[in-house]
Chains A and B, each alone.
Chain A
């Protein structure tokens, strides 16, 4: 049986966080009513001309430096010609043979090992508009509607080398790329808003071979999960074909989320001849090294550096540091907590544990968390003072997330203060022991489990408020 390996390359588009579009002064804000953020230039009206937004170049260079790329000394724009209703000029201003940056890499952590994924190139281009299809499906639509708000929003396209070998590696690469772009603050990278998009090129070949198999292009993967699932499906599909002796067709396929399969993309049946030529309406870019150094100096601490700092300064395990620094917002949240509460490991447990759990369950980003750093710290302080127990703290945390109220308020309202009064506890222990004579006897006969049962009963009685350590002490004494 031939063993196959997958060869994957990712093409990522990220919308840049500039205030205005790449070639005109329209706003780039997300979510406006259709066709309300447009002007003659981005509509491509006859006679209009593009003028380049300097900040787009700055952001592109910044992202490229964070990805260890070489910045070109001479760069230019080219026209990519094709017809589509979301493209007002029926050409896209992009970069072809002289992109702003090339030859970079990023490092991912897979199974505890570091792997470098090469970045072939990074270039700037303009985004197209948005299409809505009647009947919600392009293949069953009678007509389509076009909104040009998004045309002209600046994009950077980042193309990786085909160094990725598994769907998991692909997912981790994309997460790391997202983190880096967020850290440099050039993009929001919100896949659900479309400010981060990913296409993949996939092929398979017998393990150990150095020749590339026929690749297919995958589109329409709108989440990290979808990316991984689509790749898994496509790799299997290709392997199955080859095992049957059927060659893989080079084509573009779309991921069908509902059916969980990839399908041939019918709407792009024509051969793509983009007829690239230099954009005559824009003059070339000469990037002097001083400007590049200025931008390099403005680079913030990047994810891997920050991770190492957390390990070094706080003694966090690698895994924890990795998770926390995987998003800038999360890392910032963490740092803010540590600034006001001096127990990095405890905070790390809560951030990685309860916080992420609730955020993921509610499909929320850290930035939108109802619990802010000072709120978490407030909770931990209560726990430290013994006002509440650890178990109750978790309850309170959930409540805080739900209601947005702070810990103290909730504890007061729900009367969750821990019972640490020895006298009170002794009374309760006595009562429970009296009510469960069999368990008492079982324990005295050597059954450890009976102790747990009794503790459980006490907890039930006190609605979890009894101080568990004291309960254990008192019980043991009495038994």
Chain B
């Protein structure tokens, strides 16, 4: 596996909406690289014909009925909001 580059780390940070300083980027690049080196161990195994386990439980088809139940009031929903207006959550400009 090729070593992780700065650019890749910056790209990943963007995807995760994280802001890293130069130093942090440097540190994370090194740390993530050593973790990835460690997990590379998995390449010792041949898993070509193995099914992935996304769900460890053998259950399927869990449903609920199409019924309406009262949720929470608007006041409660907005109670923890850092910023709100007109009964809605307020966020700074998107573009």
By a beta-carbon cutoff of 8 Å, the part of chain A in contact with chain B is 18-20, 24-27, 33-40, 42-43, 51-57, 76, 83, 85, 131-133, 138-139, 141-148, 266-267, 270, 273, 275, 278, 280, 282-286
Our pick among A146, A266, A286 for the contact of B89 (Cβ within 8 Å) is A146
The interface residues of chain A, by DSSP majority, are classed as: loop
The interface residues of chain B, by DSSP majority, are classed as: loop
**Cα(A51)–Cα(B64), bound, Å:** 6
Any chain A CB within 8 A of the CB of B21?
A: no
- Interface size for B (C-beta < 8 A) is 34
Known: A35-B87, A40-B72, A278-B55. 5 other contacts (CB 8 A): A20-B68, A143-B90, A143-B91, A144-B94, A283-B59
A132 CB contacts on chain B under 8 angstroms:
88
**Do A20 and B66 touch across chains, with their CB atoms under 8 A apart?**
yes
Any chain A CB within 8 A of the CB of B92?
A: yes
Shortest A288–chain B CB gap in Å is: 9
20 contacts between A and B (CB under 8 A): A25-B71, A26-B71, A35-B77, A38-B74, A38-B77, A39-B69, A39-B71, A39-B72, A43-B77, A51-B64, A53-B66, A141-B95, A143-B92, A143-B93, A145-B90, A147-B87, A270-B14, A283-B55, A283-B59, A283-B60
Q: A33-B74, A270-B14 given as contacts; is B91 within 8 A of A25 (CB)?
A: no
Shortest B2–chain A CB gap in Å is: 19
A40 CB contacts on chain B under 8 angstroms:
71-72
Our pick among A25, A35, A54 for the contact of B78 (Cβ within 8 Å) is A35
For residue B62, which residue of chain A has the nearest CB?
A: A283
A141 CB contacts on chain B under 8 angstroms:
93-95
Binary contact readout B27-49 vs A (1 if CB under 8 angstroms, 0 otherwise)? 00000000000000000000000
**Do B86 and A25 touch across chains, with their CB atoms under 8 A apart?**
no
**Cα(A20)–Cα(B77), bound, Å:** 19
Q: A19-B67, A26-B68 given as contacts; is B60 within 8 A of A285 (CB)?
A: yes
**Cα(A282)–Cα(B54), bound, Å:** 10
Going nearest first, the 6 A-B pairs with the smallest beta carbon separation are A39-B71, A54-B63, A145-B88, A55-B66, A25-B69, A278-B54
